[in-house]
Each structure stands twice: as structure tokens, then as C-alpha cells.
Amino acid sequence: MPIQTAIFTFGDRYVSGGAKDEGGDILNASCLKMGWEVVARQVLGDDEQGIVVQLVQTADSGVVDVIFTVDGIGIQTKDRVPEAMYQVCEKWLPGIPELIRNKAFEKSSLVALTRGVAGIRGKTLILNLPGSPTVVKDSMEVLRQILRQAVEQAKGTPGP
């Protein structure tokens, strides 16, 4: 059965049309290429409580296995996705963002300024990705190797 995903890109600049959601486009294409289903895709603003509501509603719906967030994990004042995650997740998966940063560090040391986290709410994984299309593409190469096992474990089904 294909992994069911939701993709949310967070940033007022995307909502206003001031920036194109290239990272979200790459992520969407990567998910489809891997045979996963994208059941929701949306661009939303930087409001922390709005982020919390979106993540909670989507995770608690039972429809998706994985929620990907794009952007909103930097060190600017408006970047509030990690703070929202702290209000949403029940368990943490620190190894996933470590893998993502290690892979991205090969191309740019600026990835050290990202604050993305990964966690679980209920049986849904929630993963933060940077907004950079290159980092999103590289992240998916890493995640492709571990995500099915992570989804199975989160759901409580036996894996390989």
C-alpha cells in the first residue's frame, strides 16, 4: 500500500505570491516518483497557531502516514515551524533531521542554521524540510531509504 502524504509549505512570501514554492514542487514530484500518494498539498502563512492547527487536524484525521513541512525552520523571527512542532508531537525522531543535515552539509554549511525536527503524533510522522529545492531533493534520497520502516513502526505493524 502506498504511503499517504501531506505537504504543507509555510511562509507568508509563498501565500502572497512573492516566492514560488519550488521546494514543495520538488517534494511533490519526489513523493509521486516513489509511488507515494499526496493526499493534501497547501501553502500556508507563518502564523504559529495556524501551523499547530493544520498539523493537528491533519495528523489526527487518520488519513495520512507522513506530513512533510517545507520551509519555516530557519532562524528568522517569522520561522515558527519547530515551535509549532513542540506543541504537536508526542515523540521525537532526532536521527531524521540529523541525516538530512548531514546530507545537505556536503553542499552547503548554511544548513547548520536550520532547526528542522521530526516527530510523531498518534500514528503520523511529521517531518520538517528546508525550503531549498536542492536540499529537499537530497533529503528525499535519504528519506526514501527509511520512511517505509518508520511508517510501519509508527502504525505498530511489523517491519522487515
The pTM assigned to this predicted structure is 0.96
Q: Identity (one letter) of the amino acid at 100?
A: I
Strand partners for 119:
92, 126
Position 4 scores a pLDDT of: 98
Model pLDDT for residues 47-88, shown as the tens digit of each residue: 999 999 999 999 999 999 999 999 999 999 999 999 999 999
- Report the C-alpha gap between 88 and 9 in whole angstroms: 17
Residue-range domains of the chain with CATH? 4-155 (3.40.980.10)
Model pLDDT for residues 26-55, shown as the tens digit of each residue: 999 999 999 999 999 999 999 999 999 999
Statement: residue 158 has pLDDT above 90: no
Model pLDDT for residues 87-110, shown as the tens digit of each residue: 999 999 999 999 999 999 999 999
**Mean of the per-residue pLDDT values of the chain:** 95
Position 157 scores a pLDDT of: 81
Handedness of CA 121, 73, 98, 128 (dihedral sign): positive
Q: Which residues contact 86 (CB under 8 A, 6 or more apart)?
A: 117
Q: Residue 159 has which C-alpha cell?
A: 517491519
